[in-house]
Amino acid sequence: MRRQEPPVTAVQQEARRRRWRRLPLTLLALVVVVAGGLVLAIGVPTLWRYSGESVRHYADPETHFRHGSIGSEVSGLPVRMWRVLPGLFPEVFGDRHYEVFGFLYAPGDESSRGDLPIGLGTREVRGVEIAWFNCALCHVGTVRESPDAPARQISGMPSNNLDLYAFIGFLLEIADDPRLAPDRVLDEMEAQGQRLGWIERRVWRYAVLPRVREGLLETRATLGPLLAEQPPWGPGRVDTFNPYKLLQFDMDVAELDESERIGTSDFPAVFLQRPRQGMDLHWDGNNASLQERNLSAAIGAGVTEESVDHAGIERVADWLLDLAPPPSPYRPDADSVEAGRALYMRHCADCHGYQDGDRYVFEGEHLGQVEPNDRLGVDPARLDSYTETLRRYQLTLFEDDERYRFRHFRKTDGYANLPLDGLWLRAPYLHNGAVPTLYDLLLPPAQRPPAFVRGLDVLDQEKGGFVAPDCTPGEPLEEGFCFDTSEPGNGRQGHAYGTELTAQERSALLDYLLTF
């Protein structure tokens, strides 16, 4: 007997209508607009090059994680554009190229010779190689044990370097800059040695580059009003769901309640996903399905229902199931660690699991469950940004595909009790990154730093986390970003567990936490 489906709600009908109405924001299907006009002039053999699609395969799973495609290129830029932007806008890039926004490069790659950063997948579509975000963009970071030590790249940790707000803002700002005029861009390509034939130059001049610019202008009109209302995210942070609402479902900022317009939170770690299956995932615990969480994150990176590369996403997901964090380099006093362990097991393990030597134990009565924010008391902005309306819209995605359709999203009343494996790599702490170190997290909220520097990767050997000096909002910094906890969504309040301990007990608990 066929299962009776629930009636389609008005919200779901509206979501479908919006998706059909939405204009494409990038060039995926638009290079071929020149085909009709050029077919007689250049012939069928040349046009064959501007049809079809190809994607690069990487044999090594970590290389695929860092450089492989998940199908987001529909939202991206041509690789040739990635290579010329630093030359067109030297006042922004200087000699750092995309590192100025915190992008990372694989060992041996060089931005100056046109290599693309980690976190960009590529795909050739209709003769044009396009690059855009993949999972590694937000989940590869760097660590240094001292200021003079070389940076160590670690897959699976949060990207503590990437300032996505600044990069997106740059792209939207240059949308109508004269330097993006086709002839100017083509001249820069030629100056860099990117040779174009007579036919190719005209395809780029009259189809590709105008569409790129049009896509940037459309995205600016859609996303710009939201970003203008939000405090800058800073390195290592992203608004997870509000851009999703505007770009995926064609919503307007005016439709969003003021309480939901700021949902900025830290990039999470993605180690050891297998034990997390069935836990409440995302910061607010709004989904317990790894598959749906992964697919939703891919959509946030620019994937669409039409462009999604399920095989590419699932290959990454399979690799992450058993990706363990590297062991903590901290070696606190053994007696103090043992005393701290006893305190932790009494006060914290039920919610977060625990560390047993070099092994993390995913056990706890409340582990992976949502803790109501009425009790937790942390900044509510990220929780409030995910709404029942968005949930209903999401249920229309992949609705004709029983394998991939969304079923498990829900609106919660708090934040999930997450496992703490790889804790030494996750600073700053709390869901919104409002507390710089583990030492500060154990202090009463009023004593936590009101403003500190984010975006540094040197370990704080005493406090746990990264070195995060105090700063004054509005004053320039030589390095990093001044994070102001008084800004909306940035509150440092709540999670007061451990703050009632004596100074000696807090020191012992900190020593144990440093071993995670």
Question: How much is the pLDDT for 438?
Answer: 98
Whether 5 is in a domain gets the answer: no
Question: How much is the pLDDT for 127?
Answer: 85
Question: How much is the pLDDT for 42?
Answer: 32
Distances (CA, A) of 314 to 118, 319, 452: 19, 9, 38
Percent of the chain at pLDDT exceeding 70: 90
pLDDT tens by residue, 64-97: 999 999 999 999 999 999 999 999 999 999 999 9
Q: Assess whether pLDDT exceeds 60 at residue 309.
A: yes
Rounded-to-integer distance, Cα 385 and Cα 396, Å: 19
Question: How much is the pLDDT for 9?
Answer: 64
Non-local CB neighbours of 446 within 8 Å, separated by 6+ positions: none
Which residues, listed in sequence order, are joined to residue 264 by a DSSP beta bridge? Answer: 239
Q: Where are the beta strands (DSSP E) in 159-270?
A: 237-239, 264-266
- DSSP 8-state class, residue 428: S
Q: Assess whether pLDDT exceeds 70 at residue 31.
A: no
Which 3 state secondary structure label does DSSP give 373?
A: helix
Whether 3 is in a domain gets the answer: no
Q: Assess whether pLDDT exceeds 50 at residue 25.
A: no
Question: How much is the pLDDT for 114?
Answer: 85
Whether 311 is in a domain gets the answer: yes
Rounded-to-integer distance, Cα 321 and Cα 271, Å: 7
Rounded-to-integer distance, Cα 238 and Cα 433, Å: 11
Q: Assess whether pLDDT exceeds 90 at residue 262.
A: yes
As a whole number, mean pLDDT of residues 397-426 equals 96
Cβ atoms of residues 67 and 168 within 8 Å: no
Rounded-to-integer distance, Cα 131 and Cα 411, Å: 34
As a whole number, mean pLDDT of residues 361-366 equals 98
Rounded-to-integer distance, Cα 241 and Cα 227, Å: 13
Question: Token pair of 83, please?
Answer: 């290579």
Give the torsion through C-alpha atoms of 481, 240, 245, 281, to 10 deg.
-170
Whether 1 is in a domain gets the answer: no
Question: How much is the pLDDT for 4?
Answer: 46
Question: How much is the pLDDT for 110?
Answer: 85
Cβ atoms of residues 421 and 440 within 8 Å: no
Q: Assess whether pLDDT exceeds 70 at residue 498.
A: yes
Cβ atoms of residues 373 and 411 within 8 Å: no
Instruction: Tally the domains of the chain.
Output: 1
Based on its alpha-carbon atoms, the radius of gyration of the chain, rounded to whole angstroms, reads 24
Question: Token pair of 490, please?
Answer: 């940035």
Non-local CB neighbours of 134 within 8 Å, separated by 6+ positions: 65, 66, 67, 68, 69, 70, 72, 119, 120, 121, 301, 316
Q: Which domain holds residue 252?
A: 10-513
Whether 2 is in a domain gets the answer: no
DSSP codes of every residue in 435-476? B-BHHHHTS-GGGS-SEEEES--BB-TTTSBB---B--TTS-
Question: Token pair of 138, please?
Answer: 């937000």
Cβ atoms of residues 307 and 29 within 8 Å: no
Rounded-to-integer distance, Cα 224 and Cα 203, Å: 29
Which 3 state secondary structure label does DSSP give 63?
A: helix
Phi-psi region of 459 (alpha: psi -120 to 50; beta: other; left: phi over 0): beta
Q: How many CB atoms lie within 10 A of CB 470?
A: 11
Question: How much is the pLDDT for 51?
Answer: 53
